[in-house]
Amino acid sequence: MSRVIVYCGFLQDKDIKLPAMGVSGSAVNALDRGQLRLLWSEVGWPFEPAGLQQKAVEFHKVVQHVFQQAAVVPFRLLSIFDDVSMLEKFAAEHAAAFTEDLERLREYVQMESVVYVVQQRAAEHEKSGRAYLERKAEVFRLSIDHAASIKTAVTTISQGVQVREVKSGTRIFALVRRGDEERFREVVNAVPLPASVSRRVSGPWPAAEFLSSVVKVPQSAGQR
């Protein structure tokens, strides 16, 4: 049994080179709808659980191959359609929204900074006492304040900033003009780092956090 897996959408451009192969060595095909181009492959289905990690790597290689050349809307790994006709229906329903987002984000990438508390062993006299809890609360407050400082700093070079609290700490997403990635890192690194707090910078990535809601979570029969 086979299904259609979709990698990403981008604006048509004759200079964009497509990857040689996709998931499981499959051929990479293009479906065009107006200015929008969607890349897809026909793959065996269902996937074996033991091979999912490798397929994820192959999937993201296709997305990155295009992203290095242009703005993309990445699909989730298991964006599976029953057949090409269902993908064509999806493209007809969503081409206008995808194209609008891609036009808006054409010159931009997403940079990220995660701020988190460095786990430290409590001193013997603090392990069950008020001092330990107060110290833990103080470090957490410092991490929140530091994240706010980074957000303020990167706003000066970003077209948009979003913040999300996650289990590992605070994630800051910034919409940065392509080519300003190193400047973003410099701005973050210039913010003084408190003791017991750390941070990590990553990117560039496709601007997934800055997509419109209809493109982030498109609804269509046939998509899994």
Question: What is the domain range of residue 190?
Answer: 108-206
Res 168: pLDDT: 78
How many structural domains does the chain have? 2
**Mean pLDDT of the residues in the chain:** 91
Same domain, 28 and 46: yes
Res 54: pLDDT: 95
Same domain, 94 and 13: yes
Same domain, 100 and 10: yes
Res 223: pLDDT: 55
Same domain, 13 and 78: yes
Same domain, 6 and 70: yes
The CATH number of residue 197's host domain is 3.30.70.2730
pLDDT band at 37 (very low <50, low <70, confident <90, very high): very high
Give the pLDDT mean for 174-199: 96
Same domain, 21 and 63: yes
Q: Is position 222 within any domain? A: no
Q: Is position 123 within any domain? A: yes
Percent of the chain with pLDDT over 90: 76
Same domain, 83 and 119: no
Q: What is the pLDDT of residues 154-177, one digit of tens each?
A: 999 999 999 999 887 899 999 999
Same domain, 114 and 96: no
DSSP letters, the chain, are: -EEEEEEEEEE--TTPPPPS--GGGPPPEEEEETTEEEEEEEEESSPPGGGHHHHHHHHHHHHHHHHTTS--EEPPTT-EESSHHHHHHHHHHHHHHHHHHHHHTTTEEEEEEEEEEPP-PPPGGGTTSHHHHHHHHHHHHHHHHHHHHHHHHHHTTEEEEEEEEETTEEEEEEEEETT-HHHHHHHHHTSPPPTTEEEEEEEEE--GGGS-HHHHS---TT--
Same domain, 88 and 157: no
Percent of the chain with pLDDT over 70: 91
Q: Is position 224 within any domain? A: no
**Residue 127: pLDDT over 70:** no
Give the pLDDT mean for 178-203: 96
Q: Is position 129 within any domain? A: yes
Same domain, 134 and 192: yes
Q: Is position 124 within any domain? A: yes
Q: Compare 125 and 63 and report the one with higher pLDDT.
A: 63
Res 148: pLDDT: 97
Res 222: pLDDT: 47
Q: What is the pLDDT of residues 86-122, one digit of tens each?
A: 999 999 999 999 999 999 999 999 999 999 988 666 5
Query: Does the reported pTM lie above 0.85?
Result: yes
Q: Is position 134 within any domain? A: yes
